[in-house]
Structure 1
């Protein structure tokens, strides 16, 4: 059984946001994915803590992360983001997944687990793993697309304002040249009259 939470949120400058996931049993897999979609230089600080507030993972100035770890304690795990070093809002995609796999317990006389599963169960398990891999790859490409789109918009804005500035400079220099020529010829015509 898999429980998952995916969301997109904005974190303001100087703000800290935390999210929580409950783990009901030891040995459950916890998947954690985040990506900064826009804002500043696409970097954020994060920390993951277990129920005893011990830091399991942390990073500074990270653009994205994709982690899977095994929960060794039952309770509420904390996923925090800090935007204290930046002066701009950050848009962040977040996905937290807690996976509880039903595990068969075998006695010493029973055959290994592989002999108990059918070919269909094995291929279903492999397909599930491949689909998870594809979903994570799609998230990665979505993040790259969004960042590249943001860069293109920023470049277009800079080109527009540079073009406006260049046009103003051309008009001002043209007017200045006309004024210089008028004053030059008006002074020159006074010399010939004398």
Structure 2
């Protein structure tokens, strides 16, 4: 049992992942870049982003390799979820550009660098191959379920922020529209009073001959 437990622990630790979850506020006409180091060719790089508030929730983005060559990019997109394989060792850059509109943007994003080294079973561990397969399958299933839950949480988190931003924007527009209507009504009332006062003043000064 100890051997099985140790082997299960080895399976769980076999996939080494470095993840970064951040939230960034991009001002109008601002460009921001974030970086992740890749230590080996073939590592998996995961990149997720979603615009939470600002404008029409769109933003320009680009991912570049250590040689500043574009790996993947997009213009005026609200969110994205990508996984690609690193072909070079070094520092990858993930950049956002808020240049389409004059409003600030709040962006949530995750950067994950994951490596999955192959396990080599020794002769003593060979009898545990069946247990290894079962544990490995269970681990992958749990990993898939956790990823599904994480994506669902991100989806609802993004919807909540966007709906909240829409509500705040609508309230602001209703407030200013109501204020303009009140000013217009008061102005029209004052104009009508002035017209009536002027009309009766002129009528009272008229003289008629008999």
**TM-score, structure 2 as length reference:** 0.79
Pick from 41, 50, 56: which aligns with 2:71?
A: 56
Partner of 1:25: 40
Q: Deviations over 1:101-144 (max 9, x none)?
A: 232358xxxx9xx8563434312221111111221221122112
C-alpha displacement of 1:39: 2.4
C-alpha displacement of 1:97: 0.7
Unpaired runs of 5+ in structure 1? none
Pick from 94, 99, 114: which aligns with 1:84?
A: 99
1:131–1:155 CA distance, 2 compared to 1 (3 A): same
8 Å Cα contact 2:76-2:100 kept in structure 1: no
Q: Is residue 119 of structure 2 the alignment partner of residue 104 of structure 1?
A: yes
Distance, in Å, in 2 between the alignment partners of 1:7 and 1:148 is: 21
8 Å Cα contact 2:28-2:103 kept in structure 1: yes
Distance, in Å, in 1 between the alignment partners of 2:208 and 2:119 is: 113
Partner of 2:139: 124
Distance, in Å, in 1 between the alignment partners of 2:160 and 2:45 is: 26
| Number of equivalences | 189
Partner of 1:170: 185
Pick from 20, 44, 57: which aligns with 1:5?
A: 20
Unpaired runs of 5+ in structure 2? 1-15
Partner of 1:93: 108
Distance, in Å, in 1 between the alignment partners of 2:130 and 2:67 is: 40
- What is the CA RMSD across the aligned residues, in angstroms? 2.4
Q: What secondary structure is seen at the aligned counterpart in 2 of 1:48?
A: strand
Pick from 162, 175, 185: which aligns with 1:147?
A: 162
C-alpha displacement of 1:190: 3.5
Q: What secondary structure is seen at the aligned counterpart in 2 of 1:67?
A: strand
**TM-score, structure 1 as length reference:** 0.85
C-alpha displacement of 1:2: 1.4
Distance, in Å, in 2 between the alignment partners of 1:169 and 1:14 is: 36
